[in-house]
Structure formats: structure tokens, C-alpha cells
């Protein structure tokens, strides 16, 4: 076998041994947390998640976000390179007393889930006038 042939065989083996089809891992999505005067804003990277599977729920002090990645249309081809690992995302956050639970809002756009947690009136920064 020439050197070239050997390296080709090796590459073919590597391709074959490596799992085809969709990924299976449930990952913790990366999150940014920003505080504005009115609210806390959570931004979570959840690319490829379907809207139907996406849930944001609040139970007692725990905010839970969950979503499943839709089928990546690989058309039955062969994977040459594989780094995308998420089949879904799951994460919980402890939410403090300062958040108004009835007005929590969530939006999914460009693969990013944005959860806005408005502060209760008494938690908002206030300027105190000086007599």
C-alpha cells in the first residue's frame, strides 16, 4: 500500500466509525444576564430550537427553560465534520423575591431566548427628593 492509500483508508475508517445522524446531548444553554432599571433580562443561546418545544415555566422560585432542537436536514448524507452537539437545552434559574412573577415575558428570535423578568415596583430604583 502506498502512503497515500494508507491515509485514505484511515480517513474512511474515521468517517465510518463516527456516529451519523442527529446529536443526543441535552446541553445547558449559555446565558447572559443584564439588569436594567425596570427588569432583569436573561438571554440564552438556544440555536435551532423549535418554537413548539420551547417552554418557559415558573414554579415557586425556580424559572425553567427547555427546548428541543429540530431535525437538522442532513438528507441522509455522511458527516465529514461534526461539532454541533445539542439535541436540546435545559436550564433552571433561581429567581429572587424582587421579580413580578405575573409579568414575565419570553421571546425567541434568531436562536436566542430572551426572558424579561420585570422588577416589583418597590424594587425599582427611586430618586428621593430632598426637601
Partner 1 sequence: MALVRWSQQRDLPTFPSDVLSMQREINRMFDSFFRTGWIEDTGLAPAAWSPATDIVENDTGYVVKVELPGMSKDEVKITMQENQLSIRGEKKHEEEGKENGYHRIERSYGAFQRCFALPTAVDASKIDASFKDGILTVTLPRSEAAKPKTIEVKAR
- The Cα–Cα gap between 10 and 32 comes to 42
Q: Which three cell numbers stand for residue 21?
A: 445522524
Select 78 or 121, whichever has its Cβ closest to partner 1.
Answer: 78
Instruction: Check residue 41 for interaction with partner 1 (CB under 8 A).
Output: yes
Burial of 80 (0-12, 13-18, 19+ CB in 10 A): exposed
- The Cα–Cα gap between 40 and 52 comes to 25
Footprint on residues 71-110 left by partner 1 (CB under 8 A): 72-85, 108, 110
Instruction: Check residue 47 for interaction with partner 1 (CB under 8 A).
Output: yes
Instruction: Give min distance, CB of 55 to partner 1, in A.
Output: 16
Q: Which three cell numbers stand for residue 65?
A: 427553560
Binding piece for partner 1, criterion CB under 8 A, among 55-63, 66-74, 97-105, 120-128: 66-74
- The Cα–Cα gap between 10 and 96 comes to 55
Instruction: Give min distance, CB of 61 to partner 1, in A.
Output: 17
Helix (H, G, I), strand (E, B) or coil at 112: strand
Q: Which residues bind partner 1 (CB under 8 A)?
A: 10-11, 13-15, 18, 30-37, 40-41, 43, 45-50, 70, 72-85, 108, 110-112
Amino acid at each position: 500500500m502506498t502512503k497515500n492509500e494508507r491515509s485514505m483508508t484511515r480517513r474512511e475508517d474515521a468517517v465510518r466509525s463516527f456516529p451519523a445522524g442527529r446529536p443526543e446531548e441535552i446541553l445547558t444553554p449559555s446565558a447572559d444576564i443584564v439588569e436594567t432599571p425596570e427588569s432583569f433580562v436573561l438571554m440564552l443561546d438556544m440555536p435551532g430550537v423549535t418554537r413548539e418545544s420551547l417552554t418557559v415555566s415558573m414554579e415557586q422560585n425556580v424559572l425553567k427553560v427547555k427546548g428541543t432542537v429540530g431535525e437538522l436536514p442532513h438528507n441522509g448524507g455522511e458527516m465529514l465534520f461534526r461539532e454541533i452537539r445539542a439535541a436540546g437545552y435545559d436550564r433552571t434559574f433561581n429567581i429572587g423575591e424582587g421579580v413580578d412573577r405575573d409579568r414575565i415575558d419570553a421571546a425567541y428570535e434568531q436562536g436566542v431566548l430572551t426572558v424579561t423578568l420585570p422588577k416589583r415596583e418597590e424594587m425599582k430604583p427611586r430618586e428621593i427628593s430632598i426637601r
